[in-house]
Amino acid sequence: MNALQTAPKPVQTDAEARRTWKQRSSGWLIKGNLLIVFVVICAIAALLSPDFLTVRNISNLLQQSSLTGIIAIGMTLVILTSGIDLAVGSTAALSGMLVAILLDGKLPIALAIFISLAAGIGIGLLMGAVSAWIRLPAFIVTLAGLTAVRGWAYTLTDGRPAGSGLPDAFTIIGGGYLGVLPLTGLVFIAVTIGTALILRYTTFGEYIYAVGSNEEAARLSGVPVNWVKTAVFGFSGLTAALAGVLLTSRLTIGQPTAFQGAELDAIAAVVLGGTSLFGGRGSVGGTFVAVLLLSVLKNLFNLMGIGSFVQMIATGLILVLALILNKVLDARAQAAAR
């Protein structure tokens, strides 16, 4: 017999095995419940409307959800740090106006887009810095930004639309297709994947979750909390500005009234996607599915000829029920883990 013997593996009892299986299944259910709801809603939509699964309708669905989705991806990072950005709609409108005005001034397309995106980043960084370093609640700071930035968008042209005869090379960005897929939808997918990689594989992503989970513990661990909080607002400003540029490209004109209420749609998608308003838990994948789910519901209502007022009531009820389901499943997962 060998002098060294491997210790026998502990035998798992039936009760322990059942507990482990229950914990795993609860975890899978928590992570995949929204996707399950999405598939069920799509199946119901396909049964109720034969036009739902057509290539044209799916393409329109992706295009309609893309701009709100891009804004919601940026909002996800802010909420993961337990912040909130109420100025994204105003930032998107301002950037959309800026790119139209700059292109009217015969600036090169790339330079006009760069300046418009930089403006969005600057607005986000400013609000993030005020919130982080002066320790003002992000809700108050961005609420002020919502009004001030929207006012800036109006004053650029005294409240009139901007842009006339925008270059075809610019308008194709928001209105063009790659095969049957809209370019704006592809941008939405690319932004989602890129942000997911940042959260999953970078130190910055780890910092975001650490700050949202316990800000003081993160600070004591050497995480640059103020810089992280400022940076996520800058990223939110970038995604909002990108959405604004894409909308101007699609409409071929800049509208100062664009994206009113977009911040509420983005927040609804983020929370529905499983991101906690208290920070530290969530993913952009959940936000992506939630954006599509909300768009599918609206699309289904339109195909069925349901009025907009009824749509608002139904969508609100579905949001509440989905949040209740998330809370119940989360409670069960915590109970199974004990």
In a domain, 8, yes or no: no
The pLDDT, as a whole number, for residue 16 is 47
- What element of type H or E holds 178? strand 177-178
Give a yes or no: residue 43 inside a domain. Answer: no
- Find, among 75, 79, 92, the residue nearest to 240 by Cα: 92
pLDDT at 148: 96
Q: Answer yes or no: is 292 within a domain.
A: yes
Answer yes or no: is 2 within a domain. no
- What integer is the mean pLDDT of 149-176? 91
Identify any residues that bridge with 182 across adjacent strands, giving them in sequence order: 177
Residues 6+ apart with CB under 8 A from 281: 80, 212, 213, 274, 275
In a domain, 276, yes or no: yes
**pLDDT tens-digit series, residues 123-140:** 999 999 999 999 999 999
* Tally of domains in the chain: 1
26 assigned to some structural domain: no
| CATH number for the domain that contains residue 206 | 1.10.3470
Inform me whether the pLDDT recorded for 326 exceeds 80: no
Q: What is this structure's pTM?
A: 0.88
Reply yes or no on whether the pLDDT at 159 is more than 80.
yes
HSE-up (13 A, CA, CB side) for residue 212: 26
Inside any domain, residue 15: no
- pLDDT tens string 262-314: 998 999 899 888 888 888 888 999 999 999 998 888 888 887 788 888 878 87
Assess contact for 275 and 80: CB atoms under 8 A: yes
In this structure, how many other beta carbons lie within 10 angstroms of the beta carbon of residue 58? 17
Residues in contact with 80: Cβ distance below 8 Å, sequence separation at least 6, in sequence order: 199, 208, 209, 212, 232, 275, 279, 280, 281, 282
Give the structural domain span for 84: 51-331
Reading the block at residue 8, the tokens are 């026998």
Residue 40 lies in a domain: no
